[in-house]
């Protein structure tokens, strides 16, 4: 059996507190296959960032082991770091250099010389070609995010780790980034993605792992996970308040209401209840359950403020 690209084995992480310690990760075991695109999902505080920090060597596991293509992240730090390209959530950059200078310096950190052809390709693919000589301080937040992606990829790492890479960025960057990352994945790069945009995870990821309170509660192929949702969803818009009997079943986002419906008879009963309560319905549709529905069902109360869809214009 081929060794995994990344292997987490019984990884736990305890942060010291005044009360004795907070356990962020509980015996997490997860293998990421070579060449796969894996989504790591979970609400805030589930342990995703802790897991990635341990993988990157920025934090130390309290117990357990993490290996990258067979190398231990603690014992073989240089070998593991060479194989990883990590795009962090935070916008961390040196304000004194141009975009091209930053990428050349990053190449030098990994001992790579004569990397200009690949740097030019990164600049082109990420829509940064016209910003190559611009100082980092002059760039917008979205452009800085693109530079962080280029910086993570400049040494051609076989494993790409994307930690909320499209949080707060525009639709154009989402499309540009995912087109390029999908190409790299098809060329053989392994990708680990954390995101709250569940539409992205559903469209891109081969497998989904879900973390809840530091434990893996689901790990399945995306198709298998979606097929586990046996119900459909009645979705509509309304300006009216729902009756208590329906409000307890519904997920409401602004004017949009979504209620599970397992069969045609459920839809009829729901519509009858809405008419009886005087709720005026607009833009009604019945759709198949998606990854957000599965996520909410698995996470329960933890999921309510976290499950997020990408903008409708995407």
Which is nearest to 261 in space by CA: 233, 289, 242? Answer: 233
Q: Which of the four CATH numbers 2.60.40.10, 3.20.130.10, 3.40.50.620, 3.40.50.300 does domain 6-222 have? A: 3.40.50.300
Percent of the chain clearing pLDDT 90 (strictly above): 48
Point out the least confidently predicted range of 57-66, 78-87, 127-136, 246-255: 246-255
What are the domain boundaries of the chain? Answer: 6-222, 231-288
The residues with which 65 forms a beta bridge, in sequence order, are 9
Mean pLDDT of 185-208: 92
How do residues 95-143 score in pLDDT, each as one tens digit?
778 999 999 999 998 999 889 999 999 999 998 999 999 988 888 888 8
H or E stretch covering 19: none
Q: Domain 231-288 is in which class? A: alpha beta
The alpha carbon of 180 is separated from its chain's Cα centroid by a whole number of angstroms, namely: 16
Which residues neighbour 83 within 8 Å (Cβ) at sequence distance 6 or greater? 68, 69, 71, 157, 158, 159
286 vs 37, which has greater pLDDT?
A: 37
For residues 115, 120, 125 and 128, what is the CA-based torsion angle, rounded to 10 degrees?
120
CB 107 within 8 A of CB 115: yes
Kindly report the pTM of this predicted structure: 0.83
CA distance 248 to 244: 6
């Amino acid at each position: 059996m081929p060794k995994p690209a990344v292997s987490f084995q019984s990884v736990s992480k305890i942060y010291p507190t005044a009360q004795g310690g907070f356990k962020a990760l509980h015996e997490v075991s997860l293998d990421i296959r070579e060449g796969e695109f894996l989504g790591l999902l979970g609400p805030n505080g589930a342990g995703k960032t802790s897991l990635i920090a341990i993988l990157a060597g920025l934090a130390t596991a309290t117990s357990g082991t993490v290996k990258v293509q067979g190398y231990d992240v603690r014992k073989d730090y240089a070998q593991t770091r060479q194989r990883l390209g990590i795009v962090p959530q935070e916008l961390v950059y040196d304000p004194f250099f141009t975009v091209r200078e930053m990428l050349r310096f990053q190449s030098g950190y990994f001992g790579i010389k004569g990397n200009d052809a690949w740097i030019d390709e990164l600049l082109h693919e990420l829509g940064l070609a016209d910003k190559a000589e611009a100082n980092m301080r002059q760039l917008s937040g979205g452009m800085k995010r693109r530079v962080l992606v280029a910086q993570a990829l400049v040494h051609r790492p076989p494993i790409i780790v994307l930690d909320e890479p499209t949080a707060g960025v525009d639709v154009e960057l989402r499309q540009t980034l995912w087109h390029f990352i999908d190409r790299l994945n098809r060329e053989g790069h392994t990708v680990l993605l954390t995101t709250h945009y569940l539409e992205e995870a559903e469209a891109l990821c081969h497998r989904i792992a879900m973390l809840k309170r530091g434990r893996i509660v689901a790990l399945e192929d995306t198709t298998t996970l979606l097929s586990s949702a046996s119900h459909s969803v009645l979705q509509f818009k309304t300006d009216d308040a729902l009756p208590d009997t329906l409000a307890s079943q519904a997920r409401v986002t602004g004017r949009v209401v979504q209620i599970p419906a397992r069969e045609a008879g459920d839809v009829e009963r729901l519509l009858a209840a809405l008419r009886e309560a005087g709720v005026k319905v607009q833009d009604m549709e019945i759709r198949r359950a998606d990854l957000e529905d599965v996520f909410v069902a698995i996470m329960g109360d933890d999921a309510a403020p976290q499950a997020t869809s990408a903008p409708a214009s995407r």
